[in-house]
Chains A and B, each alone.
Chain A
Amino acid sequence: MLQITIEKKFPTKLKPFHLSIDLKIPDTPQTTVFFGASGSGKTLTLLTLAGLTTPDTGLIVFNDRILYASAKKINLAARERKIGFMFQDYALFPHLTVLQNITYAQSHFFPQFVPKKLQSAAQELLTKFGLTNLADRYPSQLSGGQRQRVALIRALNAKPNLLLLDEPFSALDPLLRGQLRLELQAIIEKVALPTIIITHDPEDVDCFAGSLFLFKNGRACQVDSYKTIRQDFQTAQDCLIDILRTTHI
């Protein structure tokens, strides 16, 4: 169970923004989708969850572990939260090889020195993900799909308890998305980690929405029975347009 109650104000003159989120995400289903337009606060909420942005006030509790509590002055650093984060552009370290990237969380200090013990395990993982001969390549030499897989392996190697994926397909060729969506779904099921996926692509919602949360102008609410509502519509897009129209957050 994940509880997020956060408030954060950005009092800029040009475009003031007020993030006010109050969510409870149950343990099952395993995957949760945050759906909403860009600028609705999805990424900000994820960054806050991961400890990369600090809210003004609020409470974040994951499986009885307090990650953030303004009232108790608790604010765990990102490195202590055990939350895996896959960035929209994957954020692979450009100066490190694929092997050094995926072992970053496990290597001692300098990622360039990968202990022998880690090497064989990493090689095995790469083979499993269809990246067998790419261990010594640099991220700039990889295709979009390969980058995504490297980013995912790297996050999983840190042994997180929760996985956050920020628009996992937006950096990819649209023609590739369909296939990679199925791949990612299979991987997530296999690793059996609670996963939150941000998207503004209706197709992603169909594929991943165990539970679904709508984001709008810095607020969010849960859509209770997406799968049931979905049956009345031809496409995911029509369905979501209707939900957005009828839901008041």
Chain B
Amino acid sequence: MLPDLYHPLVLSLRVAGLATFFAFIGGSLLALALARRNGPLPALLDSACTLPLVLPPTVLGYYLIMTFGKNGFVGQTLANIGINLIFSWEGAVVASTVVVFPLIYKSQRAALEQVDQNLENAARTLGASEWRVFITISFPLAWRGIFAGLILAFARGMGEFGATLMIAGNIPGKTQTLSLAIYDAFQAGDDTKATILVLVTSLLCIILLAAAELLIRMKEKY
């Protein structure tokens, strides 16, 4: 029983963690580039980045296979250097990254736009580079919103199912995450296993959300 639980749990944590990390890097750059920009191009990019939030997981999975599969544009390039994402746990990371990306990008952009522009401008007149303005002013004042977005993304990554199933499959001990293991156990009629997995997943998600809530309510010293 324990190994049955252990592997999906660790895989889920790893996939969600890595996906959150990659989406954080990409989301930060994009949020920085698009914050406080109005215009047709930023608006278009913004919509494109929000798309994974509304597209059905199957559609997303299909696009991912088209892109990263054997005949896909990126897939062929990766195959040449010996990387295969289809039916591998790395494929699950790619799927989760795409799914959680809008959550991180959106919360990050909102948090950054809430920072008083006068503060950033004051730092500029004091000789700070754009990089220093971001690291020493914008980020410290926006980090709660950004961090809350990260936790939300991580929780969403833990629960990722559809797109992951399509690109990484459901291979026990290899690409089977918690949510896939639950589906498997339920289909196989193993109710005890399903119940345990469901409870573990629920508990994890509750802890994550409680942590996010605590963090947001935490008092700053200023």
Residues of A whose CB lies within 8 Å of any CB of B are 47, 50-52, 77-79, 81, 83-85, 87, 89, 91, 93-95, 104-105, 109-111, 138-140, 154-155, 158
> Among A51, A91, A95, A138, which residue has its beta carbon within 8 angstroms of that of B122?
A91
Question: Which of A95, A111, A158 has a CB less than 8 Å from the CB of B125?
Answer: A158
A residues near B110, Cβ cutoff 8 Å:
none
A78 vs B121: C-alpha distance in the bound complex, in angstroms? 8
Q: Which residues in A have their C-beta under 8 angstroms from that of B49?
A: none
Check if A87 sits within 8 Å of B126, measured CB to CB. Answer: no
Q: What number of A-B contacts does a CB cutoff of 8 Å give?
A: 68
B36 within 8 A of A: no
When C-beta atoms are compared, the residue in chain B nearest to A81 turns out to be B125
- Asked if residues B125 and A138 are in contact (CB atoms below 8 Å), the reply is no
B222 → A minimal CB distance (Å): 4
A205 to chain B, nearest CB (A): 25
User: Which residue of chain A has its CB nearest to the CB of B125?
Assistant: A85
- Closest-by-CB residue of A relative to B131 is A109
Task: From B61-69, B81-89, B132-140, B191-199, give the one contacting chain A.
Answer: B132-140
Asked if B127 and A79 make an inter-chain contact with CB atoms under 8 angstroms apart, the answer reads yes
16 contacts between A and B (CB under 8 A): A52-B124, A52-B125, A79-B124, A81-B125, A84-B125, A85-B121, A91-B122, A93-B122, A93-B123, A95-B220, A95-B222, A104-B123, A105-B126, A105-B128, A158-B125, A158-B127
Q: Which residues of A contact B121 (CB under 8 A)?
A: 47, 50, 52, 78, 85, 87, 91
* Closest A residue by C-beta to B143: A95
The proximity string for B residues 178-212 relative to A, scoring 1 for CB distances below 8 Å and 0 otherwise, is 00000000000000000000000000000000000
Residue of B nearest to A78 (CB): B124
Residue among A78, A85, A110, A158 with most chain B CB within 10 A: A78
